[in-house]
Structure 1
Amino acid sequence: MDSHLAAGYCAATGIYRSTHLAAGAAITASSSFPDYILPRMLLPHLTARPAFIDAATGASLTFAGLRRLAILAARKLAAAAGLRRGHVVLLLSPNSIHFPALSLAVLSLGAILSPANPLLTPDELAAQALDSDPFLLLVSGDLSHKLNSIPDVNNRVVVLIEQLLLAAADGEKLDFDVIPAVEEGIGGDEAAMVFYSSGTTGTSKGVVSTHGNVIAAAAALERAWRGGGGGGVSGDGEVYGCVVPMCHMFGFACFVMGTAAMGETAVVVGGRFSPGKTMEAVEAYGVTTLLAVPPMIVKMARAAAASSPATATARRRRRLRHVVSSGAPLQREHVARFRRSFPDVKLGQCYGLTETTGCIIMCDLHHDDDGGDKWTKASPPLETETKDVAAISIGRLMSDMEAKIIDLASGEPLPPHRTGELWVRSPSVMQGYLNNKEATAKTLVAAGADEGGRWLRTGDLCYVDKRGHLYVVDRMKELIKCNAYQVAPAELEDVLAAHPAIDDAAVASYPDEAAGEIPMAYVVKKQGSSHLRKDEVISFVRSKVAPYKRIRKVVFVDSIPRSPSGKILRRQLKNLLQGSIQERSRM
């Protein structure tokens, strides 16, 4: 077969298209995401099946119970809190079996869901609230103290999740045949969610996804997890392990949109990630597929390598078959270490952005169409333009996805085995950035008259091989991926600039085996501030940002390399680091 055809590539248009079956019918059948997902939960074989299980307590929520709780919570929010269509709801909660029901409750009213990371500091949370202007703050009791810094918090409606769940329980005996599950008239082009992402450059931006985007993403994920099969709800006994935060698009897409839509059980492992706790849950609840981020993969492999032979034997008896990693590329040595520790588990990757409403590229969980081991090796590049032969495939385009690889110099689309910026287009691509037309215009590129919708510039350098598998080579963007979270250097540079003893500063990534990358600061002291110590800089930043954003390393330099326009030349920062090391070695 022609390699271009196998890759789904059309030389005439420069477009790569998914080789999976389209999910168009599923996308157009429902007008809103709750209308798409809630009726499935009434199927006879699903009503009593657990949708979510709390690994710590064993508490569970069946699919019928999930639907019931979503409807009851929605009615309470409408009647008691005055929540209406178009209102924004800021949801601040750790992972729980109730998180999906609360999300569906908000969406079923036509309100707009905006989850916030519980790790955010009060000031960071206030910045998100200032941008999204929520009508209602839905927060768990142990996080309510973080609301104090939100502007006009006393003029906003605050609902404690624990109280809402108690109030919803009072309505358990209501007749659900006469209670509307979804607000009438919600359209697919209406805003459903505002998730916050650093995008391709700069500080955090609100990504607006419509109900149509969410339905498209859920349908594509279902087809990918079904191995390209016929869709629909099977509830065929797969059990998915949830250790990633649902407030992040990866976790939300996989568990609020993915497993719930497919009728599969998800086991929620709460709290700080622990390999031991995770594997105990995997064994106790028969988890077959685990969704994780690279630092978790590293920790699991390390823990397994240090375990006893008896533990290793028990591990081989577990039902775990697949581990799918996302959030940042996996390094080859980490993949090899994991496979030595878990020889019977397929380790693959998926790729997505907040701007694409979740995953758009995924490894094949059920099929290997050429007999090769695409979980751990890339096909050799055919041209010298692609030199990263050690890359590991992130998978193939999911259904209804299109892509271009754009040459950075000419702006022209490239064929297989040529490296350029990845552009993508699909029904799941965001509506745009909230209150930021300039950033939207830079990220969403208008297509030609005969092409259709807009293209999303990802800022990632990629290539496609002859089988249609994609590989991430590098990032154009300046973001740091620490523990799979995006950290914007500009945000940390603003924090450092406020220190009275710092004259100038720049932030860049530094490789770290456990976290992938960590933020490192290059600091120029102010004259007369020779007393400033590295630990003081680290402590100063620690008090102002979330844990994953904290500066982990500091090097003092004489100056920060900048262009004539004042832009930091980050590629030259490594030279400053090397110079600092050499200077210390001569002392």
Structure 2
Amino acid sequence: MPNMPEFPVCFLGILEAGLTLTAINPTYRAEEIVNQMNDSSSRFIIVHYNMLEVILQVKNHFKNHLDIICVNDFDGKTRELPSGVRPFSDLIQNNIDVSKLDKQKHKIDINESIAFLPYSSGTTGLPKGVCLSHQNLTSNVAQMCIKEINTIQETTKTHQDTIIGVLPFFHIYGTQVVLVRSLREGSKIVTLPKFDPKQFVNILENNKNIVLYAVPPIILFMASHPSVTSKTLENLRFTGSGGAPCGSTDIERLLTKRDHQIVQAYGMTEASPVLTHSVPDSPCKASVGYCVSNTFVKIVDIETGKTLGPRETGELCFKGPQIMKGYLNKPEATAETIDKDGWLHTGDLGYVDEKGCCFIVDRKKELIKVKGFQVPPAELEAVLRQHPSLCDAGVVGHPCSKAGEVPVAFVVVKQGVERPKEDAIKNFVADKVAPYKQIKHIIFTEVIPKNASGKILRKQLKELIKTELKKEEN
């Protein structure tokens, strides 16, 4: 479901009932939807009318019988639904006896019962269900609301912040940082089903006391696009950036248009999601800030596991009440991410200075981040290997000023088979994955470099990209 008023109704209603919610990216293709629905053992789905056709096409591939509820009333029109599909309006009728609903609630343990099941690739591999308890979610919202870093003002008779809901609510960043946190403070939320430059600028120009949580591509848009002027931003009170590192140059360019508070935060789905948050008016724009309350950080050597000191670069590890319970039905993956002492190993490289300020240097993990979204190389490689003309593939991220990174695929053609056209391979992948996962460049090679255990040597592939792309340009 895209960002729309029905989303928080569903989200909060499901949690209040003691059930577990998993949110699906509305740009997902059929295969991706089936994988998530089956892995999560889902039994009900609430879907926007624009996605209903896809759900009906693949419903026979779901392992459980699925009750389908559809949001079919929007834009002043009510769409007709096929037999067996219930309208969303059935759930919110005034004649429902609410007292009876209390008896149907599932009993929960706030520390153990899973409230939200977003999907993440973690540090490597295919998407996995991240088990977040009620305690995980509420702890992280409370951590974001302490006065030192709280950026959303509580609604009063004379003041109400406007939150631009442009980050997708199906993503943990949009769910927790934008949606739940804003509702806690009684803020007004203006939703965008997707980022549209004209609509976005219109919202900036026609609202007051604006608080914006964004990803770096949106920061870049505001900093560089001519339609965004100082006047456009005059009601922008605060900007927060997360999802991926944001360059200090883009932040400085935005500040020249509108001098206001800009902070960066760091987190991951496995941490509900916020781990660190910079302090407003901090002079260090390159930092992702300090640990949020009740959260501990340590830096460990990636080879020895030894704890390192200030300004020594290693893997960032965190411990706190917002850390997930584990990956759904994947104890080995959980053990690889959370050690026996409860430390979450992020797969990111960084350091902490003498004051406890955290800095991200690089990513140990293989994950590609496109506009703040996770793109697991293993998933794209699996799709590429399904192509009838290819026998092997390796995918890595390549820097992009607009998207942060884009996927680049190295592919090996089967012996005796005619080399397929690059566009044909791209289209083959595009039919199976969401738009942000689509491959930007295809590079043909004789072999994918791997180590003795068969793991792809991605560093070598990244070194080859510039040379190969220059050859194509010439």
TM-score calculated relative to the size of structure 1: 0.73
Q: Provide the secondary structure at the position in 2 that maps to 1:315.
A: coil
Q: Does residue 499 of structure 1 match 2:387?
A: yes
Matches within 5 A, 1:222-233: 222-223=145-146, 226-227=147-148
Residue of structure 2 in register with 1:539 after alignment: 427
- Work out whether residues 524 and 559 of structure 1, in 8 Å CA contact, stay in contact via their aligned partners in 2: yes
Q: Does residue 288 of structure 1 match 2:218?
A: no
Alignment counterpart, residue 299 of structure 1, candidates 184, 199, 221: 221
> RMSD of the alignment, in Å?
2.5
Matches within 5 A, 1:229-248: 235=156, 236-248=159-171
Q: What CA distance in whole angstroms lies between the structure 2 residues aligned with 1:356 and 1:164?
A: 34
- Work out whether residues 214 and 428 of structure 1, in 8 Å CA contact, stay in contact via their aligned partners in 2: yes
Q: Does residue 411 of structure 1 match 2:305?
A: yes
- Work out whether residues 275 and 296 of structure 1, in 8 Å CA contact, stay in contact via their aligned partners in 2: no
Residue of structure 2 in register with 1:53 after alignment: none
Offset at 1:494?
Answer: 0.9
Q: Does residue 519 of structure 1 match 2:400?
A: no
Q: What CA distance in whole angstroms lies between the structure 2 residues aligned with 1:185 and 1:531?
A: 58
Residue of structure 2 in register with 1:275 after alignment: 197
Q: What CA distance in whole angstroms lies between the structure 1 residues aligned with 2:405 and 2:103?
A: 44
Residue of structure 1 in register with 2:77 after alignment: none
Q: Does residue 429 of structure 1 match 2:352?
A: no
Alignment counterpart, residue 358 of structure 2, candidates 466, 470, 488: 470
Residues 472 and 230 (structure 1), Cα distance of their counterparts in 2 relative to 1, 3 Å cut: closer
Residue of structure 1 in register with 2:65 after alignment: 155
Residues 527 and 409 (structure 1), Cα distance of their counterparts in 2 relative to 1, 3 Å cut: closer
- Work out whether residues 152 and 211 of structure 2, in 8 Å CA contact, stay in contact via their aligned partners in 1: no
Deviation per residue, 1:281-305 (Å, 9 max, x gap): 12212142101111111122221xx
**Which shifted more, 351-360 or 409-418?**
409-418
- Work out whether residues 321 and 344 of structure 1, in 8 Å CA contact, stay in contact via their aligned partners in 2: no
Residue of structure 2 in register with 1:549 after alignment: 437
- Work out whether residues 108 and 181 of structure 1, in 8 Å CA contact, stay in contact via their aligned partners in 2: no
Matches within 5 A, 1:152-551: 152=62, 155-162=65-72, 164-171=87-94, 180=102, 183=105, 185-188=107-110, 189-223=112-146, 226-227=147-148, 235=156, 236-271=159-194, 273-303=195-225, 306-307=226-227, 312-315=229-232, 318-340=234-256, 342-365=257-280, 368=281, 373-374=283-284, 376=285, 392-447=286-341, 454-551=342-439
Residues 540 and 425 (structure 1), Cα distance of their counterparts in 2 relative to 1, 3 Å cut: same
Residues 487 and 408 (structure 1), Cα distance of their counterparts in 2 relative to 1, 3 Å cut: same
Counting aligned pairs with the same residue, the percent is 34
Matches within 5 A, 1:75-86: none
Residue of structure 2 in register with 1:34 after alignment: none
Q: What CA distance in whole angstroms lies between the structure 1 residues aligned with 2:101 and 2:58?
A: 38
Deviation per residue, 1:71-113 (Å, 9 max, x gap): xxxxxxxxxxxxxxxxxxxxxx111122111111111111111
Offset at 1:167?
Answer: 2.5
Alignment counterpart, residue 46 of structure 2, candidates 138, 141, 147: 138
Q: What CA distance in whole angstroms lies between the structure 1 residues aligned with 2:445 and 2:265?
A: 39
Offset at 1:357?
Answer: 0.9
Q: What CA distance in whole angstroms lies between the structure 1 residues aligned with 2:471 and 2:48?
A: 51
Q: What CA distance in whole angstroms lies between the structure 2 residues aligned with 1:373 and 1:181?
A: 54
Q: What CA distance in whole angstroms lies between the structure 2 residues aligned with 1:327 and 1:144?
A: 29
Output the amino acid matched with 1:497: R
- Work out whether residues 557 and 580 of structure 1, in 8 Å CA contact, stay in contact via their aligned partners in 2: no
Residues 579 and 277 (structure 1), Cα distance of their counterparts in 2 relative to 1, 3 Å cut: closer
- Work out whether residues 264 and 278 of structure 2, in 8 Å CA contact, stay in contact via their aligned partners in 1: yes
Alignment counterpart, residue 4 of structure 2, candidates 64, 76, 96: 96
Q: What CA distance in whole angstroms lies between the structure 2 residues aligned with 1:230 and 1:351?
A: 16
Q: What CA distance in whole angstroms lies between the structure 2 residues aligned with 1:181 and 1:234?
A: 33
Q: What CA distance in whole angstroms lies between the structure 1 residues aligned with 2:238 and 2:153?
A: 21
Deviation per residue, 1:357-404 (Å, 9 max, x gap): 121211223xx4xxx522x3xxxxxxxxxxxxxxx1112111111111
Deviation per residue, 1:550-570 (Å, 9 max, x gap): 011111122211112211111
In structure 1, stretches of 5+ residues that fail to align are: 1-92, 377-391, 448-453
Output the amino acid matched with 1:258: R
Output the amino acid matched with 1:242: G
Q: Provide the secondary structure at the position in 2 that maps to 1:130.
A: helix
Residues 180 and 577 (structure 1), Cα distance of their counterparts in 2 relative to 1, 3 Å cut: closer
Alignment counterpart, residue 31 of structure 2, candidates 119, 123, 127: 123
Q: What CA distance in whole angstroms lies between the structure 2 residues aligned with 1:127 and 1:294?
A: 29
Higher relative contact order (CA 8 A, sep 6+): 1
Deviation per residue, 1:274-324 (Å, 9 max, x gap): 333212112212142101111111122221xx24xxx735235x2212111
Q: What CA distance in whole angstroms lies between the structure 1 residues aligned with 2:300 and 2:343?
A: 11
Residues 577 and 283 (structure 1), Cα distance of their counterparts in 2 relative to 1, 3 Å cut: closer
Residues 425 and 536 (structure 1), Cα distance of their counterparts in 2 relative to 1, 3 Å cut: same
Offset at 1:531?
Answer: 3.8
TM-score calculated relative to the size of structure 2: 0.89
Offset at 1:182?
Answer: 9.4
Output the amino acid matched with 1:429: I
Offset at 1:185?
Answer: 4.2
Residues 234 and 281 (structure 1), Cα distance of their counterparts in 2 relative to 1, 3 Å cut: closer
Residues 517 and 472 (structure 1), Cα distance of their counterparts in 2 relative to 1, 3 Å cut: same
